[in-house]
Amino acid sequence: MKKMMIVLTLAALVAFAGNAFAHSPLMSCFDNGDNTVTCEGGFSDGSSASGVKITVKSSDGKELTSGNMNEDSEFSFEKPAEAYMVIFDAGEGHTVEVNGADIVE
């Protein structure tokens, strides 16, 4: 019985060890005041977001523009005239959405 408890304890430690190294995606966007928006991204562990896909969609889901974060983990685009959403997509479980109405100077 004691060996079984040791095995179960070790199995639990291994299973939850990945959570200690997990990193959450972060993104903030701001209106530059010149009809452009810049978004900055990264991860809670300090990792760069360089190369992460960014998509700007209209309120009806239509893609307005897309691209990737640059080497400084930034992405800039022309501010859409219509309601929009900015999506930071670093893969499953690593997505952030920012409503365009929340992006201010």
Residue 13 in this model has a pLDDT that exceeds 70 = no
Question: What is the reported pTM?
Answer: 0.76
Domain layout of the chain by residue ranges = 23-102
pLDDT in tens, 40-54: 999 999 999 999 999
Q: What is the three-state SS of the chain?
A: CHHHHHHHHHHHHHHHHHHHCCCCEEEEEEECCCCEEEEEEEECCCCECCCCEEEEEECCCCEEEEEECCCCCEEEEECCCCCEEEEEECCCCCEEEEEHHHCCC
Give CATH for domain 23-102. 2.60.40.1930
